[in-house]
Structure 1
Amino acid sequence: MKKMVITGVNGFIGRHAKEYFEKEYEITGLDLAANYSGEREPDDTMTYYQCNMSQESAEMAAIFTGVQPDVILHCAGSANVGASVVNPMADLDGNLHSLYQLLLALKSFEKRPEIIFLSSAGVYGNPRQLPVRESDVAAPMSPYGLHKHMGEELCEYYNRIHGYHIRSIRIFSAYGNGLRKQLLWDIYQKYQNTGRIELFGTGEETRDFIHVSDIMRAIDLILSYDGPEAVINVANGEEVSIRELAEIYAEKLGAPQNIVSFNGAVKEGDPRNWRADISLLRKLGYEKQMELSDGIAAYVDWAKAQD
């Protein structure tokens, strides 16, 4: 059986990746936390290591030597735009230093595993035109987006100079069960606390939402791809307004749409509109399987179960 290392395995995408790929790969998980906090506890289907990746290239090198991974999914790092604005150095540490230490840990290896670096649509900032293509100029609006772009450049350098096999995937607006932050979690918490859904902005801002189950299928397709492209958009190529999403959410809660309102305030680092060009991902065989309304319904059921 092939071997896969998942960094940040306790995170939202890391946990889903572990559950998706464990039938095909022998999984080793790395994370800052002392223990794995997946759906099954204790979990004997994975070897788990507590590791501070931003400081421990020697420890990671020892782990990789023992595992000899065929694939590394680098899911570790911060995914909080607002927090990156408040504390950019912490975001730099979590998003860039951890990646650099991982690449250094592999430098002496003869075997070059396939590596997927989880980047972000945040590298684009406010696109000049939609849909935004992988070849468009990066213009990040937040330290988070900047550090993700720096990570992509680091990966390109190691591919070119050291013969690594890294693909950076620019994930757009990910959502799904288990996500305890960002827009969908925020909406649920506001509804629980106030009976209303009051959000930042005007509601006309748009995003390209993709369910985590579709992200997993996209990663699977990318791992089997042998083409030259090093950066790939991961999205559905669909522009959905925040107002439309919030009204769907209210419906799934069984609440009237008039509980949804917007305060007009703009949060630093937030872009106005996103829609991805996913021509390359489609060329690999990607097709969306989770409709937004179904994904939100499942999320509402999951969130209610957490009460």
Structure 2
Amino acid sequence: MTSHAIVTGAHGAIGRKVVAALREKNMKVSGIGNGPSHWAHPESIDQWVAAPVTARNLDRLVERLGPPALVMHLAGGSSVHASIENPALDFRRTVESTMEIAQWPGMRTHRPALIYASSAAVYGDNSSSHIVESAPIQPKSPYGFHKDLAEKIVAYWSAQYDFPSATVRLFSVYGEGLQKQLVYELSRKLLDGADRVEMFGTGEELRDWLWIGDAARLLAMAPDWARVGGMAVNGCTGHGTSVATISQLLCALAGSDCSFEFLQKERSGDPDNLVGSSALLGELGFKPIMRLEEGLKHTYESLAGEGPRQ
């Protein structure tokens, strides 16, 4: 019998990749979250509800495809800077939706595994050059703070209701379909013909860049190591690349002689360095397959193919 998976935030860029990865595992996939009500094409997803993530709406997804073996929770706040501008809204999107999701498996006769897509923002400014999962949690932004609260909610209800769970702390995800963060924003400016770009920081800030396809593949593997009470794993490559280097690589792809001025000012909520340790991922059998240079090329060419911004 084909297993059923529910994905919250399924219409987002990462969500659509995760849906595809789960369907490759021969799972029937239902989605819920923000997005157009007409999105439910059979070649994209088996069932789609454009609605808030609530227990009642999750029940609607079960009526046609039956009880799920897996719930993949991707919905929630997605921006450090949006969380600073409106922390109450970010709290509702991240913490309140997770409370609904985390209690729901315990109400089922057959309790599904719950996988939560968190963020490396929970680590904040960490002194470690390669952050391990047991490193101190010290978020710098409401976004990271709310992700930490959501992680705790998932782990608590997993233990209380005796269902397996896992959390994946995604680092700097980039790739086709994403419309935020440095790679997208800078690619767009280069495509618009910018010859000079001002950027926060010094350019030496290190990030761990994970291609969106690898992030989706990792999330689809996470049920294999989910356990009662939960466990957290880094979604990373284990390699740090500076903001200045990323800028230079994108300029080369664009054939641009654009100049960059780093303002030597920290952007609120941004840590200096955020590079993960991939040791645990290796033990669990996961290894990213996309090289950074190739991933940037795919991303830039995908955006170039979309044409100018409207």
Q: Same fold (TM over 0.5)?
A: yes
Q: 1:216-247: CA deviations, max 9, x gaps?
A: 22223322236676111110000110001110
- For 1:77, the equivalent position in structure 2 comes to 76
1:58 pairs with one of 52, 56, 59: 56
CA distance in 2 between counterparts of 1:87 and 1:203 reads 27
- For 1:19, the equivalent position in structure 2 comes to 20
Report if aligned partners of 2:102, 2:158 keep a CA contact under 8 Å in 1.
Answer: no
Residues 53-132 of structure 1: pairs in structure 2 closer than 5 A: 53=53, 56-64=54-62, 66=64, 67-132=66-131
Residue 10 (structure 2) pairs with residue 9 (structure 1) = yes
Q: 1:37 deviation in Å?
A: 5.1
Q: 1:44-87: CA deviations, max 9, x gaps?
A: 6421112211xx32232343465311111111112110000000
CA distance in 2 between counterparts of 1:11 and 1:118 reads 13
CA distance in 2 between counterparts of 1:268 and 1:260 reads 20
Residues 193 and 81 (structure 1), Cα distance of their counterparts in 2 relative to 1, 3 Å cut: farther
TM-score by length of 1: 0.92
Query: 2:121 corresponds to which letter in structure 1?
Result: G
1:34 pairs with one of 29, 33, 36: 36
TM-score by length of 2: 0.91
Give the aligned CA root-mean-square deviation in angstroms: 1.9
Residue 304 (structure 2) pairs with residue 284 (structure 1) = no
Q: 1:184 deviation in Å?
A: 1.3
CA distance in 1 between counterparts of 2:38 and 2:74 reads 14
Report if aligned partners of 1:206, 1:241 keep a CA contact under 8 Å in 2.
Answer: yes
CA distance in 2 between counterparts of 1:88 and 1:52 reads 19
CA distance in 1 between counterparts of 2:129 and 2:86 reads 31
Gaps of 5+ in 1: none
Residues 212 and 44 (structure 1), Cα distance of their counterparts in 2 relative to 1, 3 Å cut: closer
Gaps of 5+ in 2: none
- For 1:252, the equivalent position in structure 2 comes to 253
- For 2:133, the equivalent position in structure 1 comes to 134
Report if aligned partners of 1:211, 1:290 keep a CA contact under 8 Å in 2.
Answer: yes
Q: 1:271 deviation in Å?
A: 0.4
Range moving further from structure 2, 263-272 or 228-237 = 228-237
